[in-house]
Structure 1
Amino acid sequence: MTHNTPLSPRPLRHLTEVHRRVLSTAQLRAHGVATAELNDQCRAGGPWRQLLPGVVLLHPGPATSEERLHAALLYAARESTPGVPSQPRADEPHRPVYAEAMITGLAALTLHGFSSAPPLTSQDRIDVLVPRLRRLRTTGYVRILRTPSLPTPRQVTGLPVAPVPRAVADAVAELADSGSVRRLLSEAVREGHCEPTSVVRELNRAKLLSRPHVVDAVDSLLAEGRAIAEDRLYRMVREYGLPDPVWNVDLRLPGGPHLGGLDAYWPEQAVAVELDTRAPRQDEDALWSEYTRKREHLERLGITVVHITPKKLRDSAEQQAAVVRTALMASGDRDPAAYVVVLPRQ
């Protein structure tokens, strides 16, 4: 039997091409390949090669990046039934479901299209995320990462891939260079893959915010994220025809205490917008309490405060503009607000 000999008794035509080149030993047995025959095909110099425990490459020569990714998932995924899953329609190639496994780390970021992540051909290792209780070990080019709760994967080129925030955290965990960390975090936000808070939340869960080079990169990320959110707020006001506010101001009572900074304020209507760009760190509850106290104080003075998150500005700017417009229109039905002093924010 050569590597071009069809397997029997079940043909492979229902599989996509890459899945005809990389199969598990369980799948090969389901296709009629006996253990002795498998060992013969995988002998030194033979037409097949064992890429990973229980995973076979069905052609001579090195594996492609695509084959390495599928092999890593075949190794790590939980099989619901032995062999190849149920056959699809004749005109529908089968794409195996890789249960309880997904690509993460730098390989995932490359698949997500990050220019700051190295190409797959130069990555010696592929990280695979699995549930904590799975009995798997790191082997060959596959590093097994465990988590108490798997995130919902994204499908990228037919592969289950960790969401960007989780993939970033898993990649950063292995990076000691602050420049590399900063580039990954910056691209995640700048290119619209996710919001800064979601990245920081994953870094916090991974206990990476105690590393100085990560903290420095996070500070830069949050500053960049706020700048992006402010730009979206400017565009929202302009594109949806809201009246011009005064931007980035501090409010004070005459001769009294500082009331807090605001991103936009309409003095005649006593309506304010505040961007909620809190970083989800250990002191999140205390910071939220501060937000709440400021909002309640301003509202007692008759000032309506609209909180908007960067994500809402990105995904539903028209809806947020309608909320602000409603608050402006309702100002005539409210009692006049207390007089406050408006100063440029320091």
Structure 2
Amino acid sequence: MTQNTPLSARPVRLPSHLEQRVLSVEELKAHGVSSARAAAQCRDGGPWQQPLPGVYVLHPGPPTGEERLRSALLYAGRRCGAAETGYGEGMITGLAALTLHGFSAAPPLDSLDRIDVLVPRTRRLRSARYAHVVRTAELPSPVRLAGLPVAPVARALADAVAGIGDASAARRLLTEAVRGGLCEPAAVVRKLSRAKLLGRLHVVHAVDSLIAEGRALVECRLYEMVRTYDLPEPLWNVSLRLPGGPHLGGVDAYWPDEAVAVELDTGAPRHSPRDDDRRRAGLDARWSGYATEREHLEGLGITVVHLTPKRLQEAPEQQATVVRTALMAAADRAPAEYAVILPR
């Protein structure tokens, strides 16, 4: 009687200390398992599975979220040369990266239909099944989360927004990043601009919310700095005008007795890199306006202290010292011109 049923694959014995259950074909070969033997383990009813080309999960059940991450990294990192992690230069980005960064607005790993992997633009590699390849000319330095290389928040956000068509979902992610102090709005907008995403309507709406959220957050930091370091209470968010004359400009905080004003730089570039000349002209006009307004105020004897969101977040005590020094120096200056103070 002829037996047509194929023989079961011989069990593969790996070193007992090997805890990793997702291995590349190269890693298996290093343990003495040939490609043919690995493929035999993945036959119907076999003990292994091959979710991506050249990557094996060493159990028959569905891969966990973490195993899918590792398999995507191994797929994208193969044949990249020597690397201690075996992932080459690849790193997790997009929604999966935001989940690893702890975003509550990002979905659980097990529910993701795709996993974005950031690789150098020179890599000749196609996306496969759930592993989505994202190429970039400027590869950022990854952070290590759960033992895996992960793109920084700003880059992961830009890649996540690129794959989201829902403005409200994109807005939730961007808002959480700013409220949590995970990145500055300007950094995210720069990444979106470089990815040529600022022409998409849902991205524009999300960026509008991002900038407004960033503005509110930086203003709260300024309030906290003033009160934490016992600075005199200023007038908040006012406009200055000469009596019967022109508008001098709006400031975020103003001490009228000392004629000291604080301005926050919370603007973010909104121009597409497809029009570099217009982008440069816009930025030049913006900073020219800032400089003209500042020169006008200082010409009237008003000291203007310029603070950035990054400085307020990283060195609030130092920035409080800068403001206090300006207030104390008021006694040694000639009196400022009288200015009418109006709500902004």
TM-score (norm 2): 0.89
Moved more, 279-288 or 255-264: 279-288
Partner of 2:39: 39
Alignment partners' CA distance in 1, 2:22 and 2:317 = 48
Partner of 1:245: 234
1:237–1:97: structure 2 CA closer, same or farther, 3 Å change rule? farther
Partner of 1:90: none
> Secondary structure, in 3 states, of the residue corresponding to 2:38?
helix
* Deviation, structure 1 residue 80: 6.0
- Stretches of structure 2 that go unaligned for 5 or more consecutive residues are 1-8, 272-281
1:97–1:301: structure 2 CA closer, same or farther, 3 Å change rule? farther
Alignment partners' CA distance in 1, 2:167 and 2:284 = 28
Letter in 2 for 1:318: E
Letter in 1 for 2:183: C
The answer to whether structure 1 residue 116 and structure 2 residue 105 are counterparts is: yes
Alignment partners' CA distance in 2, 1:145 and 1:189 = 24
Work out whether residues 197 and 280 of structure 1, in 8 Å CA contact, stay in contact via their aligned partners in 2.
Answer: yes
Alignment partners' CA distance in 2, 1:35 and 1:317 = 58
Letter in 1 for 2:125: L
- Any residues of structure 2 matched to 1:23-102 within 5 Å, and which? 23-77=23-77, 85=84, 96=85, 98-102=87-91
Alignment partners' CA distance in 2, 1:234 and 1:12 = 58
- Any residues of structure 2 matched to 1:163-242 within 5 Å, and which? 163-242=152-231
Moved more, 140-149 or 289-298: 289-298
TM-score (norm 1): 0.89
After superposition, the C-alpha distances for 1:176-202 in whole angstroms (9 at most, x for unaligned) are 211111111111111221122111221
Instruction: Kindly report structure 1 stretches of 4+ aligned residues shifted beyond 6 Å.
Output: none
After superposition, the C-alpha distances for 1:234-268 in whole angstroms (9 at most, x for unaligned) are 11111100011111111112222111000001112
Letter in 1 for 2:27: Q
1:291–1:78: structure 2 CA closer, same or farther, 3 Å change rule? farther
Which of 254, 276, 280 is the matching residue for 2:269?
280
1:80–1:138: structure 2 CA closer, same or farther, 3 Å change rule? closer
After superposition, the C-alpha distances for 1:77-103 in whole angstroms (9 at most, x for unaligned) are 255657x95xxxxxxxxxx25331111
* Deviation, structure 1 residue 150: 0.6
- Stretches of structure 1 that go unaligned for 5 or more consecutive residues are 86-95
* Deviation, structure 1 residue 285: 3.1
Work out whether residues 76 and 130 of structure 1, in 8 Å CA contact, stay in contact via their aligned partners in 2.
Answer: yes
Work out whether residues 21 and 58 of structure 1, in 8 Å CA contact, stay in contact via their aligned partners in 2.
Answer: yes
* Deviation, structure 1 residue 128: 0.5
Work out whether residues 278 and 287 of structure 1, in 8 Å CA contact, stay in contact via their aligned partners in 2.
Answer: no
The answer to whether structure 1 residue 130 and structure 2 residue 119 are counterparts is: yes
| RMSD (CA atoms) | 1.8
Alignment partners' CA distance in 2, 1:110 and 1:36 = 36
Letter in 1 for 2:37: E
Alignment partners' CA distance in 2, 1:2 and 1:226 = 64
Partner of 1:315: 314
Work out whether residues 271 and 304 of structure 1, in 8 Å CA contact, stay in contact via their aligned partners in 2.
Answer: yes
Partner of 1:89: none
> Secondary structure, in 3 states, of the residue corresponding to 2:177?
helix
Work out whether residues 263 and 304 of structure 2, in 8 Å CA contact, stay in contact via their aligned partners in 1.
Answer: yes
Alignment partners' CA distance in 2, 1:181 and 1:79 = 34
> Secondary structure, in 3 states, of the residue corresponding to 1:215?
helix
Partner of 1:306: 305
* Deviation, structure 1 residue 133: 0.8
* Deviation, structure 1 residue 328: 1.0
Letter in 1 for 2:13: P
* Deviation, structure 1 residue 323: 0.8
Moved more, 302-311 or 240-249: 302-311
> Secondary structure, in 3 states, of the residue corresponding to 2:293?
helix
Partner of 1:342: 341
Alignment partners' CA distance in 2, 1:38 and 1:296 = 72
Letter in 1 for 2:284: D
Partner of 2:278: none
Partner of 2:276: none
Alignment partners' CA distance in 1, 2:186 and 2:167 = 19
Work out whether residues 152 and 162 of structure 1, in 8 Å CA contact, stay in contact via their aligned partners in 2.
Answer: yes
Partner of 2:13: 6
After superposition, the C-alpha distances for 1:220-246 in whole angstroms (9 at most, x for unaligned) are 221121111111111111110001111
Work out whether residues 78 and 101 of structure 1, in 8 Å CA contact, stay in contact via their aligned partners in 2.
Answer: no
Alignment partners' CA distance in 2, 1:314 and 1:217 = 23
Alignment partners' CA distance in 2, 1:306 and 1:342 = 18
Alignment partners' CA distance in 2, 1:38 and 1:124 = 26
The percent of aligned pairs where both chains have the same amino acid is 66
